[in-house]
Structures are given as C-alpha cells and as structure tokens.
Amino acid sequence: MSDTGHPPSALRARAANTLRSSTFRLAVLYVLLLGVSVGILMAFIYWSTAGYMDRQTAATIEAEIRGLAEQYRRRGLAGLSSVISERVARDPVGSSVYLLVDDNLERLAGNLDRWPTGFPGSEGWIRFRLRERGPDRAEEHAARGQVFLLRGGLRLLVGRDVRDLEATRALILDALAWGLAITAALALLGGWVMSAGVMRRLEIINQTAGKIMAGDLSRRIPLNGSGDDFDELAENLNRMLERIEQLMAGVRQVSDNIAHDLRTPLTRVRTKLELLYNELEDCENARSLAGEAIADAEEMLGTFNALLRIARIESGARRAAFARVDLGALMEDLAELYEPLAAEKGQSLTLRLDGPAQVMGDRDLLFQALVNLVDNAIKYTPPRGTIALAVASREDGVILTIRDSGPGIPPEARERVLDRFVRLDDSRSTPGSGLGLSLVKAALDLHQASIALGGDADGLLVTIRFRDARSPAA
C-alpha cells in the first residue's frame, strides 16, 4: 500500500495546533483590539460628517418655515402662496419641497401633489417618498420635511429631497466599511508578523532547552544583541545553565575523584592479598579466605574502573580515535563470542544482517557496549529462551536491535535503568554494579546514537539508531 499524503487526522491535528499556537492567539487578540479602536474612531467620523449634513438640512428647513410663517402672519394666505410659488419657480430641480393645504388636505400652493402619507414624529419631522416626474420613468426618492400648523387650519409642509444626502451618506459608510476591512487585514498581518517575531524568539529558547534536556548541557541560548527583555531572559537562563553545569561537573568530578583515589589503594590491597595468597601454600583455609578477599577487591575495582571509564567516555576524548567501523562484522563477532554462553543456557542466539552497516566510531567501545547489552539479555532470559540480534541499514542510518524473551523492563523504569547505579532489583543482591547500562548509554551518546528500551511482557527490545555515516567524506 502506498502512502497517500497526510491522513486526515494528522491534518486536523495540525490545524488544531495552529489554532492553539500562541502566535495565532496573539494575532487575533491584536486584531480585536485594533478593530474595536478603529471602529470607535470611524463611528465618530461618521457622526461628524453624515450627522453634520443632517443637522444642516434640518436647520435650513426650520429657518425657511419660520420665514414662511412670518410671511403668512404679515401678508395672509395670498402672500404666503405667492412666496411659495416664487420659491418653487426659483428651484427648477425640485430639491426643495413645499406644500400648503387647507384643513381638508386640499392643495392651496406648492410643488407637491398630495399630502404625504405617514405621520410626523414627535418633533414634527416627517419622512416621505418623493415621486419625480422624469422624462423616462417615474422614480421615487427619499425626502424629509417639517410640518407647521398655521392659523385657520392650514398646514404647511417644507421639505428637502435628501437623495444627494443619502448618496453621500452611503459613500461615507462605504468608505468607512472598506477602511475597517483594510485595517482588519493590516492588523491581522501586523499582528501575525509581530507575534511571530516574539514567538520565534521563544521558540529558540524552547529548542535550546529541549537540546539541553536531551543531555547537551553545554548549549546556550543565543542572544540577538538588542538588549531587550528577551535578551535579558536569555542571559539569565544562560547564567542559570552555567551554574547547573558547574554543579553537575562538580558532582561528577567528586565521584570521579573518589573512584580514582580509592582505586589506587584498593589495587594495593589486591596486590598484597595476591602475595599473601601465594605465601599461604600450606594453609588451605587461609588461602581460600585470601582468594575470596581477592575476588571482593576485584569486584570493587570493577565498579571504580567502570565509573572512571564512563567519565572518560563522557569527556568525549575518545572521539579523536574514531574510525570506520563495520557494525555487521562487529555483531558477527558478538554473536560468535556469545553463542557458547547462550548454548550453555539452552538459549538460541540468532543474528540477522541486512545490508552494509558502516558507522564512524570506536570499535572497542562499541563492542564493549554491545557486550554489556547481550550479557544482560542472556542473564535475564530464562533457559530455552531466544535472543535475536539484527542489523538493518536504512536511508538515514543503521539500526541495531537486541530482542530477548526475558521478563522485560516495565515502561516506567526504562528511562531510569540507564542512570548510574540503578538496578531494578532493589535489594541489590544480584551481582553487578548497575553501571553496565550507563556505560552503554555513555558510549552511544559519544557516537550520537540513540538507545530505546521497548518491548512488552514477552521480552525486552533494545533499539539503537546510528546516524548515517556514509554521507561525510571519508
């Protein structure tokens, strides 16, 4: 079956990740804040432009009504009618509307045919539709006016065609809406750019922290030299790391010193015991005691030597002696070395090789690490169990696996067993120093190879991955 791109669940997960990312959240927050601010600003602009025109119209109409009422008071109905006719004649476009009716709503003067339907509002304003008698067709547009009651039951309507006003208002609204949309788009972009910048610097800190947690304590967070808050944070974190590294080095130094200082007198004790053993040829009991003491000293020396070997490996000095190593041949030697031991326990030890498996490394050190792993596999696998070794060459490196049919390691203990002096048997009664796997870990770290303990109740699966050694020039 071929791989057809990302499965939908992966895409969903990625989308969910984006939505959850701080960059996205910050950008949205930025857009919302800026949007609200710009919205308020635009509302003010609208009020002070379109609103101003409205108020202007209202003021003109009110002034005209006052003027007409004055005419009526002074010159009576005839005077008012003639003034209205005069004004209608002066305005051929018909943007001003006049209508004077009697108490039966019969037209007395003005350029409007009928009294408009609808009732005036509380302040005497009325909105109505104006029918224009154009050359092609009749169109209607909006108008507004004020009604004034005169003595004798007469009613006067003075209004304005607000078509142009409405058009201008629509134009302003349009411009404001576009402005808001552009602002939102720019804010989104700006927010994204700004928060991405912030997030990238956080991401750098995160990545560095990840690498440090992966074991490279010498890493530091890069500063960008601007001296801003992030630089300050990075500097503080770096100082903290410095301190941690010093403390770690101190602890390690102490244990190395202890191992080193105790090793020398212990070697002397062992040598003296050996001399004693040889002196005691006639006394069998004393001789066997001396023999046991030698074995005990041997065991302690083994522990100290292992500690010091791990310390030396971790110091990285052996990398200078790296050469091309054929892991296939190494595993063949390993299988051959251990086949008799497995056979003695009735276990089957198998090896599967798959392709060339060359890496850069220290042959002795790698072999020692693998010896420790296979030694463990044989030790913990019950009689008639199986131990399967495999070497697989992949595009991106070489994978070694060691699978046994022993009791395995419970998942929660898998990380821990790679630490120094950790043994799953808490009574510490089984032989061994608990340093075997630490040495494996240190040796593999030196080779930038990863080790993973897996498997299940049916046995332990140790997987070691080497990065490709074919790419760098030999």
Chain residues that interact with another protein, rule: CB under 8 A? 263-264, 266-268, 270-271, 274-275, 277-278, 291, 294-295, 298, 301-302, 305-306, 312, 317-318, 320-321, 333, 336-338, 340-341, 344, 362-365, 367-368, 371, 375, 436
Residue number, 169 or 319, with CB nearest to another protein: 319
User: Shortest distance, CB of residue 208 to another protein, whole angstroms?
Assistant: 31
State the CB neighbour count (10 A cutoff) for residue 226: 8
Residue number, 326 or 333, with CB nearest to another protein: 333
Residue number, 319 or 467, with CB nearest to another protein: 319
CA distance 448 to 424: 26
Residue number, 139 or 336, with CB nearest to another protein: 336
User: Shortest distance, CB of residue 231 to another protein, whole angstroms?
Assistant: 41
Residue number, 231 or 274, with CB nearest to another protein: 274
DSSP string, 67-107: HHHHHHHHHHHHHHHHHHHHHHHH-TT--EEEEEE-TT--E
Return the SS3 of 187: helix
User: Shortest distance, CB of residue 344 to another protein, whole angstroms?
Assistant: 6
Q: Is 80 exposed, middle or buried (CB count within 10 Å of its CB: 0-12, 13-18, 19+)?
A: buried
Nearest alpha carbon to residue 84 among 150, 163, 162, 139: 150
CA distance 136 to 92: 18
User: Shortest distance, CB of residue 190 to another protein, whole angstroms?
Assistant: 58
User: Shortest distance, CB of residue 255 to another protein, whole angstroms?
Assistant: 18
Q: What is the four-CA torsion angle of 299, 301, 307, 311, rounded to 10 degrees?
A: -150
Residue number, 341 or 388, with CB nearest to another protein: 341
Query: Nearest-5° angle of CA 425, CA 429, CA 433?
Result: 80
CA distance 158 to 110: 9
User: Shortest distance, CB of residue 293 to another protein, whole angstroms?
Assistant: 10
Residue number, 61 or 435, with CB nearest to another protein: 435
User: Shortest distance, CB of residue 296 to another protein, whole angstroms?
Assistant: 11
Structure tokens that stand for 69 in this block = 């009422």
User: Shortest distance, CB of residue 338 to another protein, whole angstroms?
Assistant: 6
| CB proximity list for 199: less than 8 A, separation 6 or greater | 21, 22, 23, 26
Residue number, 317 or 413, with CB nearest to another protein: 317
| CB proximity list for 175: less than 8 A, separation 6 or greater | none
